[in-house]
Amino acid sequence: MDDRIDTATIHKVASELMFAGQKVSVQVIADQLNVDASEELGDVLKHWWMEQESKVAFRTSIAPNNKPDVPDTVYQSVQLIWDNALKDARLELELSAKDDKVVSEAGVALEDELYLSKSQLQSLEDSNQRLRTQISEHTHNVKNLEAERAMLRSNLQATETNLSSMEYKVAEYKGEMERAQASSEEAKKQLDNRMREETARHQETISKVESKVSYYRHQLDKLRDEWGKKETAFNAQVQDLQGEVARTSVTSDTQFSQIRSQDEELRKYRGEITNQSRNMSKSTTAALASSNRLKRLEDELQQREFDIKELKKRTIVDKSDTARRETDLRTLLKSRDSENFEVTAKLNELQRTLIAREEEIRRLTAKL
């Protein structure tokens, strides 16, 4: 192959041919590049086919959450058809890639048949697996249906028992209703009898009330006549009382004038009484002041007497203390005098001993 032609150019030309829908082969690429159809070109093209095969995902499956909203059987059948189509396309690609090589026709036919048999076997296994899954699903559904049937039977038995109990209750309720109807009819009869008795009793009371009303009307007429007579008598009495009131008004006027004069005298007496009360208040205040002074003086006198008593007590206590102290001092003086006498006696003895010692020292010194 020419050195000016590289692998990238061959791959580019092969990709352009594939996207254009033309057959990709060694001879076509050699014609496009104006080179010879050599084995090196076939190896490069084989490598390109392997890259293209790796780019195609033949075994990819759709995720469960991305499956279309179709029945499972339809989806599985379409998936099987798609897998078979991919296998056929792959087979054709492999066969087209192998056309450029020198192989025998018998070997190619055998390989094709082998691949087809493998694909058929795979499809049969897939269909068998699908049938197994369907059978397991059907058995599971049958079990669910049997469980539902058992539950429905139990529910039916429960409903039958409830129905029998309800029928028994309905019969009881009907009997109670009949008894209630009979009792209501008896109550209606008793009520009618009572109503009749009450109406008769009310009619009797109404007749009695009417007789009483007629009696009260007669009495009212009598009272009206008596009231007319009494009213005339009251009018005469009122006139007499009015005359007396006029006379009493005259006397009240005279009494009112007398009361005014007495009020003036009372005012004078009240003024005098107020003056006297003022003088009395002044005298009482003075008496109170003097009494307060006397009380204060008495309190001071009592306090002074109390102080004198306290001083006397203190003097007595002081005298007793001084006497006790004098006795103590005397005893101390006596003890000190005795001690002094003893000390002086000891001093005299010491002086005597000293004098004797001095004389001895003198004699000794004189002898020496």
Please give the backbone phi and psi of residue 100, each rounded to the nearest 5 degrees, phi first: -75, -15
Number of domains in the chain: 1
The three-point CA angle 355-359-362 to 5° equals: 135
Q: Which two tokens stand for residue 180?
A: 């209630």
- Type of residue found at 332: L
- Of 1-15, 88-102, 247-261, 343-357, the one with minimum mean pLDDT is 88-102
DSSP 8-state assignment for residue 65: G
pLDDT number for residue 4: 46
- Which of 13, 70, 80, 69 is closest to 41 using CA atoms? 13
Residue range 163-183: mean pLDDT, rounded: 80
Quick check: 118 pLDDT over 70?
no
Residue 334 lies in a domain: no
What are the structure tokens assigned to 268, written together?
């004078």
Taking the whole predicted model, whether its pTM rises above 0.95 is answered as: no
Decide if 325 is inside a domain: no
What is d(CA 99, CA 93) in angstroms, rounded to the nearest whole number?
A: 10
**Which conformational region is residue 21 in: left (phi greater than 0), alpha (psi within -120 to 50 degrees), or beta?**
left
What pLDDT does 114 receive? 63
Does 72 map to a domain?
A: yes
Residue 285 covered by a domain: no
pLDDT at 32 > cutoff 80: yes
Residue 76 covered by a domain: yes
Q: What is the per-residue pLDDT across 318-358, written as a single tens digit (0 to 9) for each? A: 878 877 877 887 788 888 778 878 888 888 888 888 888 78
Does an H or E element contain 7, and which?
Answer: helix 7-20
The answer to whether residue 130 sits within a structural domain is yes
Residue 302 lies in a domain: no
| 300 part of a folded domain | no
Give the pLDDT score at 2. Answer: 45
DSSP3 helix / strand / coil % (the chain, rounded to 5): 90, 0, 10
Q: By residue range, what is the domain housing residue 140?
A: 7-61+68-158
Q: Does residue 32 contact residue 13 with C-beta atoms inside 8 Å? A: yes
